[in-house]
Structure 1
Amino acid sequence: MSDNREYRSQRFAQLVGLELKGEFAKHSISQTKVAEILGHSKGGYSKWINAKPSMPLEAFLNTCELIEADPKAVIDASYKRLLDELGTPDEYCERGVRAADDLADRIAAHPEDYDVAANTDQNKEFEAETPRD
């Protein structure tokens, strides 16, 4: 998976967790209580809510049904926030490509500003095409 897609998916999982936290508050139930009722450890459930790692779909559905939140509304609100933050997938990827192209152009124009050992060290796998004296 590309870094851009990985970041987008990770951010989406975080936003889902934030939406669920809002639902907990709206329904006056604690995250700890939800974890307990669903049979999950407090720590493990907290990691899911914070997307470290992402919450499994089964746990997401069980959470929504327990607190009487509409799973589709949670997902839709999370995706809207993702689009507001990062734009559409094409826009986000295009920004990433432009940023990478810009960096490559800057390095080509001023290689002296980006001198790293990997470009000149004989023991490294990659060697600059024009070694320095």
Structure 2
Amino acid sequence: MATKYEWTAFDYASQQAAAKIIADSGYSYRTISDMMNNAVSHVRISDIEKGRKAPIKLSEFLLLCQVCEVDPVNTLHEIIVAARAYEARERRSQITDDLVDRIAAHPEDYDVAANRDPNKEIEMNGGEGR
């Protein structure tokens, strides 16, 4: 039974890097596949570029870098930086989501203090002197 793979930040970053390599190469999917001695099909190269199905494998990444004359070490470093940034954005988003959920569950805890102040009418009218 096939299971759907859940992509990680590194998978998304790798896909973006691979898509850039493919686009910048100027080669067609079929040409890239031929340059790889058909170790990776042109259909799979299309799937990698478009982020369909499974994430790119290390062997596919290395072959792609080789045939497109891209330094895999520099590219891998860029992938790591991009993945870490993506993870940081996800953490911030999760913190925001948690806070919104907490406020929605107990809005009375986050009411404006002036709405509960027993002296609010006096203070609104400039104090007791009016």
Instruction: Please confirm whether the aligned pair reaches a TM-score higher than 0.5, indicating the same fold.
Output: yes
- Deviation string, structure 1 residues 69-97 (Cα, Å, up to 9, x no partner): 1111222233444456x3xx4x3353133
For 1:68 and 1:47, the matched residues in 2 are separated by: 21
- Deviation string, structure 1 residues 11-49 (Cα, Å, up to 9, x no partner): 212222233124413xxx333201233213221221123
What's 1:131 paired with?
none
Normalised by the length of structure 1, the TM-score is 0.57
Taking a change above 3 Å as real, the CA distance of residues 6 and 103 of structure 1, as seen in their structure-2 partners, is farther
What's 2:125 paired with?
none
Letter in 2 for 1:78: I
Question: In percent, how many aligned pairs have the same letter?
Answer: 14
Q: List gaps (5 residues or longer) in structure 1.
A: 111-133
Q: Segments of 4+ in structure 1 off by > 6 A?
A: none
For 2:13 and 2:78, the matched residues in 1 are separated by: 10
CA contact (8 A) 2:13 2:83 kept: yes
For 1:54 and 1:36, the matched residues in 2 are separated by: 21
Return the match for 1:35 from 33, 36, 39: 33
Normalised by the length of structure 2, the TM-score is 0.58
For 1:31 and 1:73, the matched residues in 2 are separated by: 23
What's 1:46 paired with?
46
Larger Rg: 2
